[in-house]
Structure 1
Amino acid sequence: MPTSFSTYAPAKVNLFLHVGPVKPNGRHELDSLVVFAGPEAADRLTVEPSDSLTLSVTGPGADEAGTGADNLVLKAARALQAEAGIRHGAALHLEKSLPVAAGIGGGSADAAAALRLLTRLWDINPRHAHTVAPQLGGDVPVALLGQPAFMRGEGERVTPVRLPAPIPAILFNPGIACPTGPVFAAFDAAGGGADFTECGPLPDFADLGGLVGWLAGQRNDLEAPALALHPALKSPERTLNGPKSPLMTRMSGSGATFVCLYETLDAARESAEFLKAQQPEAWVRATLLGGAIL
């Protein structure tokens, strides 16, 4: 039997995000079409047997992620341990490559990866992971699924959907931290969510063009408050004067990562190289959006 397990924890991308008014519990109803990046835009988690639960973190985002009790990987491990009645532990190692406070669910992806790997390591029923996932955050249930899906309710209602094909894209983060809490607070202060309704079933698109056309009629309700809070945020379209123009650009989640959709992966890669040259301090990845490579 393997003595360790490893998996990617890919970036989550909201192709649209509709947000309802704040509820008495401080949460919001959500309606979002979620997809996942490829290994180019992912953390990586490894678990090994151990008597106790420990976490080590390396990589570009190690300092921001930290190894304290508030790290979602440790929270997920402890929650799963308690739910399944497990006495032994695990040594977890996270290679943190995704930017933090970026609107792409990096912490949630890491937590979901921990739930998947520890389910295998401890040889327990996967239902335990699905039970604890909603307690860890709104993005964790959909990250645990790892497939294109509608994410609804407070994140606990996850419905898989079929896309016509993987979507060529760029993920662009200018290096500005954009914590979720203040963005939601600004949304609430502006009276956001009054016209919230869930969209209908995803149409059966024949090709990528049909999907992009439909997405153009949707929105990200958190984009305006995020831009108002962080005036330095600029859509890459303002500087992307390269040879290929994106089909659509939208902020993911509460920001500050933008997603630009393209007709081909070659066009996305070409534009990503141009962006890197123009803004070397930015985090830029060309990838295919769809289901996660787990």
Structure 2
Amino acid sequence: MKKAVLTRWSEIAPAKLNLALHVRGKLPDGRHALETIFAFCTDGDRLWGEPADELSLTITGPFAAMLDDGGLNLVHRAAAGLAAEARVGRGAALTLDKRLPVASGIGGGSADAAAALRLLTSMWGIDPAFASVVAPQLGSDVPACLLSMTCRGEGAGDELALVDAGISGAAVLLVNPRVPLATGDVFAAWKGNDGGPLIDWRTGRNDLEKPAHKQVPVIGRVLDWLKRQPGAEFARMSGSGATCFALFATEDAREAAASACPAEWWHLATTLR
């Protein structure tokens, strides 16, 4: 009996959280010098791929209308970059199920690009080292999203070291007020004050929270609401916002908070990897 040949590949694009994010200054290349702890959820967007002669991308899901499926999309750019780097003469028919809000501080586009690199590495049967070369060309968060494991990021956030933050399996609730927030605008509003190094994420901070809050004041309401929920042990904004998150003592407490979340806000009840 012949073994079935896999003709459709699938890859999760886990939501990214910054447990802490310290902006320390500027790098010689003009990017911001960061110290951060990345963590990843068990849920996120989902990418499928099938062999094809050319590269194509179809986007479905609740946030599909907010994205361009052409060559500017990070998934398309990741696929084209990997094909060029590895000199692959094949294409792929990719389908992205966009479940995470766009421009929300949880690495949606970066996670999608990283998922494309992992999926196509398997589908095309090429060395994963090619994906590691392409990832930093797509954005500072893409290397961490390619890894999708708890890690410390330095440099522009792309110099990575695995860490044990003691949060694997933790119950977490993500909440977004459905207001897109451009990363560049938030960084541009950062005042340039170095608040000191990141020693421990629980006692750390997110230096982008204040400039993000000034642009989207509802972030303060989201954070206050999360902190008031029974069983919430820790709450913070992720990345450049506007998504905030809370870690809960139990899954039951997280589920109760998810059920109570205001209807006008997007939320995701999940766990950390």
Q: Classify the TM-score, shorter chain.
A: over 0.9
Q: Given the two structures, how large is their TM-score scaled by the length of structure 1?
A: 0.87
Single out whichever of 165-174 and 136-145 deviates more from structure 2. 165-174
Deviation at residue 246 of structure 1 after TM alignment: 1.3
> What residue in structure 2 maps to residue 264 of structure 1?
250
Q: How far apart are the structure 2 equivalents of 1:147 and 1:218? A: 20
SS in 1 for 2:220: coil
Single out whichever of 63-72 and 122-131 deviates more from structure 2. 63-72
> What residue in structure 2 maps to residue 135 of structure 1?
137
Gaps of 5+ in 1: 200-213
How much is the aligned-residue C-alpha RMSD, in angstroms?
1.7
Q: Residue 240 and residue 253 in structure 1: after superposition, are their counterparts in 2 closer, same or farther (change >3 A)? A: closer
Amino acid corresponding to residue 52 of structure 1 in structure 2: E
**Contact persistence 2:60–2:98 (CA under 8 A):** yes
Amino acid corresponding to residue 266 of structure 2 in structure 1: W
Q: Residue 152 and residue 235 in structure 1: after superposition, are their counterparts in 2 closer, same or farther (change >3 A)? A: farther
Q: How far apart are the structure 2 equivalents of 1:111 and 1:31? A: 22
Q: How far apart are the structure 2 equivalents of 1:86 and 1:215? A: 41
**Cα distance per residue 1:130-189 (max 9 Å; x no partner):** 0110111111101111111111112321111224342211100011111101000001xx
**Contact persistence 1:243–1:271 (CA under 8 A):** yes
Q: How far apart are the structure 2 equivalents of 1:231 and 1:57? A: 31
Q: Residue 99 and residue 161 in structure 1: after superposition, are their counterparts in 2 closer, same or farther (change >3 A)? A: same
**Contact persistence 1:10–1:109 (CA under 8 A):** yes
**Contact persistence 1:21–1:196 (CA under 8 A):** no
Deviation at residue 197 of structure 1 after TM alignment: 3.3
Single out whichever of 251-260 and 224-233 deviates more from structure 2. 224-233
> What residue in structure 2 maps to residue 25 of structure 1?
29
Deviation at residue 241 of structure 1 after TM alignment: 8.5
> What residue in structure 2 maps to residue 283 of structure 1?
266
Q: Report how many residues are paired.
A: 268
Q: How far apart are the structure 2 equivalents of 1:240 and 1:197? A: 26
Q: How does 1:45-56 map to 2 (within 5 A)?
A: 45-56=47-58
Gaps of 5+ in 2: none
> What residue in structure 1 maps to residue 19 of structure 2?
15
**Contact persistence 2:136–2:142 (CA under 8 A):** yes
The counterpart of 2:233, out of the listed 242, 247, 251, is 247
**Contact persistence 2:222–2:244 (CA under 8 A):** yes
Q: How far apart are the structure 2 equivalents of 1:151 and 1:98? A: 22
Single out whichever of 228-237 and 16-25 deviates more from structure 2. 228-237
Deviation at residue 234 of structure 1 after TM alignment: 2.7
Single out whichever of 144-153 and 21-30 deviates more from structure 2. 21-30
The counterpart of 1:232, out of the listed 218, 227, 230, is 218
Q: How far apart are the structure 2 equivalents of 1:241 and 1:98? A: 22
Identity over aligned pairs, percent: 45
> What residue in structure 2 maps to residue 211 of structure 1?
none
